[in-house]
Structure 1
Amino acid sequence: MILEQRPSSGNDTAFAGRATIDQILRRLAATKGDQLALADAPDRSVFTDGPPRRLTWAELNAETEKFARCLAGFGLQGDSVVVLQLPNTVESIIAFLSIIRAGMIAAPVPLAWRRRELSWAMQRTAAAAAVTVVRSGPVAHAGVVSRAAAENFDMRFVCAFGEDVPDGVLALHEAMEDDSWPELTPDARDGNPGDHIAVVTFDATSAGFVPVPRSHNTLIVAGMAHLVEARIEGEDAIVTTLPASSLAGLATGVMTALLSGAGLYLHQTFNGQALSGAIAATGAAHVVLPGLVADALGSSRLPHPPLRGITAVRRDPCEVPGTTLAGLSRTEFISFGEIGFLSRRRDHPIGTLLAGRIPVSKAAPNGMLLAETRLREDGVLEISGPIAPDGEFPGRKPEDAALMGETEGFYPMGWSAQPRNECFAITPGRRGVTSIGGISLPTRSTLEAIREALDGAADPKFIADGMFGSRLWAGKHAVRLREAGFTAALTGLGDDAPVQHGKAETTKSPPAAAVA
């Protein structure tokens, strides 16, 4: 699927060319086949089924082929959308790469989403299949995804990794061991293979959630921009705590690993001791963390050497970063929702964005273009260029108008700003959007849905929170909201996590929104 792009003054992705993500994987399997590609956290069994896995590039390529053959064997057609809801494990990367190899479109969603959001994503993209896990922590994701799928007529298959797969859900460990699936046929596609849509992520706007499509080219650009700024090398090892369910997670994780050939170690944010131990044990040169987690851990608790650099992923461009010890470089990956990002070293001024042309690397101001920015008449920031979305996903809905710019291929990011010298000074807070941990929600429509679900039993509101950005106050109605299928960002970790005044109280691990 190649979307029709509106004209842009700088939407040149020439350095990506005709390459596809699958071609990059195959090349790594051929040239670095015996080197480590992916590894699970040692404490994997704490939060999901199965022992920790380690795969070389050749083994990752073989696993990708197995799963891609399964998907094709299901009878799914090219450009079919497959929803992914997976924790930060080896299987999440296998599934992502397999969907792409099969000529389909991956649609990863946050682990904290529940039935309401999942059902919407499936319906909006006309998804044909979904892939999840039997459990992640106390949450039975296979059951949650199955209930959402039952509300969508286009959904044909729900598949799950893990043990004790429930009825009606296909057990993927059994399917992938079956050698009878037909061989994949070459994917003959019209046009530039790199321009075809590879992934759809989901963003919150003032009007509601919207799908944000990205081609192979724009994903390659995103990974390259982070790789160059963070100065990651082919022999490095990267530890990431961000799942591949957002532009930020994809760019700083799997895309950086594919483009550099570096090994990728997948970890969680809720166990700092295990994370530090993994960095020391693996000799990791680079770690990717949510910004607030990076600040809370502090550089003194991260072993260096071997650690050489940190990428702090921030959802708020006005968030003030913490301190970093001498000898440890720090890259700030500032995510403007799913619309765009800025990856820069620590010396970049807080709360600002370069006006006009933004190069891939600050060190080469006249080099390749990463993005172009401007202000709309109403003061909203807009972005164009290689890291902007690839257009509008088919099946337009009224809320999609909040994503699409008015002219010339520019897309509104949702933040207001004012001109200041050669930059834009950004006003804190995204218009009409509330962030709880790493989960963004359309403020007005979310509160309206909560009021309807509670039938007037409470007057919900969002309250500022120093750790998670915001939290929900809705009286003591978390159980009712969970039963209504609202995201765990609003209701706490799971069915056994009591919530008082919208704030989770649990001894097991932090709220799901904090680690999603």
Structure 2
Amino acid sequence: MTTPPNASPTLDGLFQRVLGRQPEALALIDPADKMRVTGTAPMRLSFAQAERAIAALTAHFIEYGLPANSVIAVQMPNTVEFVLTMLAAHRAGLIVALLPQLWRQADLTIALNRSGARAIVTSSKIDGVSHADLAMNAAAEAFSIRYVGGFGQDLPEGMVSLDDVMAADFAEPVTVPADARRAAIVTFDVTADGFRAVPRSHLHLISGGLSVFLESGLPQGATLLSALLPSSFASLAASLVPWLLSGGVLALHHPFDIEVMEREINAAACDVLVAPAPLAQRLAEAGLLDRTPTLRHVLGLWRAPEQVASSAAWDHPQATFTDLYLFGEAGLFGARRAADGLPATIMPGAHGAPRAVASSSIAGEILITPKGTLGLRGPMVPAVAYAPTSESGNSLVSGKAIDYVDTGFAARLDRSTGAICITAPPIGIMAVGGYRFLSQDLSEWAKRLGQNAMLTALPDRLSGYRLAGRTSDNARARDAFTELGLNPLMVEAFRDRPAAD
């Protein structure tokens, strides 16, 4: 497939541009412990090898009759197969719905029905959990699903082996013409109004990734190690898109084995680390940068951006540190720290990429809404997906059309500097790492366990919140929540504590 020279690029278009320049260059590296995670051997693919696998998967999706612009749901670990599947789906004209790895049958069924997915792709096992069985059970409850595919061994009956597809001969497919304005992904968020699907175009994705790439000052040909699960807009904007923009190497790490991560950085001579910011700061304080001399850039993602202002100074001059402020699936912005190591001042209004250059192109706009919350708008922000709409389809607030997303994060302006201060997360929403849910759901889930059961969220510096539970029989509570198909974070809230000495 070729893209007209003046057309806006898609993700696959960016890949093909790099492929045309350096087909034999190394492109993708699997996690070193992939055998433990999925039971399959790790791969190292050049751009030409990746292209062959992408073309084979593309031909397969088209041959199976998945119509253009239909949704293919993907629940996979941070491995090479995810990247290949996503690029192949786009080349086949499909929209990729990203399903978080921690989701179990209850969450999966809601997401599949909400997005109207026609297909689902997963791995046989991830960290010992049979995701193939989860996918088959969820597909049985989603009437729109017509195709289920998987990578790995011992796939259940009815699931197509995509490893066999990549290894087999195929006819070059007739692909759908590329259109960057077309929806590329669907992610899932929770707001005060509840669960919602958030579609994004290729332009949204590339705008977000370009702002990260330029603000952090990543070099061409960079080797990035991404320790992010591929289930959100932020994970793609901070890893997959910068890789394609730099034309370098994307090394993948399945979170989090610190010793394995260190070996991977040194083995691939990575110069960029992409990881949750609290973890990256802890690793730096523990001497990681001294043991990984090639690292020059660290991109730290803050899923609780209200924590940035109180974070420790970055006292590691051998590597720059860029704070990436994340606001659910609404959007993000980045700010590279200066020589003093302190978080950069965030001013309201339009900001460029890179932020320090006044003449740079506009990456977005930050504002304080009339409700005293932080709002975002710009080329990466899908405003229509968040706001209530009128019959004509315009996004409305109090009857007026808007073009921004209210993130729900409480914010104010500093009286002396005019800078934005983010003070609190959205009311009524809990976030454990990248998993967001309504606080009222905790009490509803606890009620299913009977009287005297409690499930609550406690503040946690690393993940925002952590879950804790109490009941008269923890083992029974774990079994009940597992049977209900709830997220393992809920199940493990009722883990047994060691007896005090």
Whether the TM-score (by the shorter chain) exceeds 0.5 is yes
Which residue of the partner structure matches residue 419 of structure 2? 423
What's the secondary structure of 1:195's corresponding residue?
coil
CA contact (8 A) 2:92 2:175 kept: no
Contact 2:262 2:292 in 1 (8 A): no
The 8 Å contact of residues 471 and 490 in structure 1, kept in 2 or not, is answered as no
Gapped runs of 5+ residues in structure 2?
Answer: 1-5
Shift of 1:358: 1.4
CA offsets per residue over residues 81-108 of structure 1, 9 Å max, x none? 1111101100011111111111010011
Q: Could you tell me whether the CA contact under 8 Å between 1:77 and 1:104 is conserved in 2?
A: yes
Q: How many angstroms apart in 2 are the aligned matches of 1:276 and 1:317?
A: 26
Query: What is the RMSD computed on CA atoms of the aligned residues?
Result: 2.8
In structure 1, the gaps of 5 or more residues are 1-15, 506-516
What is the alpha-carbon distance in structure 1 between the residues aligned to residue 384 and residue 136 of structure 2? Answer: 30
The separation in 2 between residues aligned to 1:253 and 1:260, in whole angstroms, is 11
Structure 2 vs 1, CA of residues 390 and 172 (structure 1 numbering), >3 Å: closer, same or farther?
Answer: farther
Q: Report the equivalent of 1:367.
A: 360
Paired position in structure 2 for 1:441:
437
Q: In the TM superposition, what whole-angstrom CA distance separates every residue of 1:196-231 from its partner, at most 9, and x where no partner exists? A: 110111112122221111111111111111111222
1:499 shift after superposition: 1.5
2:299 paired with 1:308: no
- Contact 2:216 2:354 (8 Å CA) reproduced: no
Counterpart residue number, 1:321: 311
Cα deviation 1:371-427 (Å, max 9, x = unaligned): 112222221221111121163399999xx9999896321111120111224332111
The answer on 1:134 being equivalent to 2:132 is no
1:20 matches 2:15: no
Counterpart contact for 2:182–2:202, Cα < 8 Å = yes
Residues 115-514 of structure 1 aligned to structure 2 (within 5 Å): 115-180=105-170, 183-188=172-177, 193-298=179-284, 300-302=287-289, 303-319=291-307, 320-322=310-312, 323-347=314-338, 350=343, 353-389=346-382, 391-392=384-385, 407-420=401-414, 421-444=417-440, 446-456=441-451, 458-475=453-470, 476=474, 477-492=477-492, 499-500=495-496
Q: Name the SS of the counterpart of 1:430 in structure 2.
A: coil
Q: Distance in 2 between matches of 1:97 and 1:321?
A: 36
Code of the residue aligned with 1:208 in structure 2: it is G
User: Does 319-328 or 223-232 show the bigger shift?
Assistant: 319-328
1:39-59 C-alpha deviation (Å, 9 max, x unpaired)? 012221111121110111111
Is the Cα contact below 8 Å between 1:223 and 1:251 reproduced in 2?
yes
Q: CA deviation at 1:318?
A: 2.0
**CA distance 1:96–1:324, change in 2 (3 Å):** farther
Q: CA deviation at 1:441?
A: 1.6
Which range moved further: 292-301 or 384-393? 384-393
Contact 1:132 1:160 in 2 (8 A): yes
For 1:123 and 1:242, how far apart are their aligned partners in 2? 26
2:383, 2:82 → 1: CA distance? Answer: 23
Alpha-carbon contact 2:389-2:396 (below 8 Å) kept: no
Contact 2:347 2:418 in 1 (8 A): yes
Cα distance in 2 for partners of 1:208, 1:280 equals 43
**Contact 1:218 1:390 (C-alpha < 8 Å) held by counterparts:** no
Question: Aligned partners of 1:127 and 1:473: how far apart in 2?
Answer: 34
* AA matched with 1:447: L
Aligned amino acid, residue 314 of structure 1: W
Q: TM-score when scaled to structure 1? A: 0.86
Which amino acid in 2 is paired with 1:373?
A: I
* 1:462–1:471 CA contact under 8 A, matched in 2: yes
Cα separation, 1, equivalents of 2:359 and 2:396: 29
- Once residues 327 and 34 of structure 2 are traced to their aligned partners in structure 1, the CA distance between those partners, rounded to angstroms, is 30
Quote the offset at 1:350 in angstroms: 5.0
Give a deviation string over 1:138-162, Cα, whole Å, max 9, x none. Answer: 2111111211111110011121100
Q: What is the alpha-carbon distance in structure 1 between the residues aligned to residue 349 and residue 150 of structure 2?
A: 45
Distance of 1:311 and 1:142 partners within structure 2? 33
State the AA in 2 paired with 1:84.
V
8 Å Cα contact 1:210-1:403 kept in structure 2: no
SS in 1 for 2:401: coil
State the distance in 2 between where 1:24 and 1:500 align: 49
Q: Contact (CA 8 Å) 1:131, 1:160: kept in 2 or not?
A: yes
Aligned counterparts, 1:65-104, within 5 A:
65-104=55-94
Instruction: Single out whichever of 449-458 and 370-379 deviates more from structure 2.
Output: 449-458
| 8 Å contact from structure 1 (residues 205, 403) kept in 2 | no
Q: TM-score, normalised by structure 2?
A: 0.89
**Separation (CA, whole Å) in 1 of partners of 2:346 and 2:487:** 31
2:98 is matched with 108
CA contact (8 A) 1:382 1:411 kept: yes
- Per-residue CA shift, 1:301-329, capped at 9, x if unaligned? 23342111111111011224344422221
Greater relative contact order, per chain length (Cα 8 Å cut-off, separation 6+):
1
Counterparts of 1:45 and 1:117, CA distance in 2: 27
Q: Deviations over 1:68-89 (max 9, x none)?
A: 1111111110111111110110
Distance of 1:200 and 1:432 partners within structure 2: 24
Taking a change above 3 Å as real, the CA distance of residues 427 and 98 of structure 1, as seen in their structure-2 partners, is same
Three-state SS of the structure 2 residue aligned to 1:474 is strand
Q: Report the counterpart of residue 11 of structure 1 in structure 2.
A: none
Structure 1 Cα separation of the partners of residues 233 and 43 of structure 2: 25
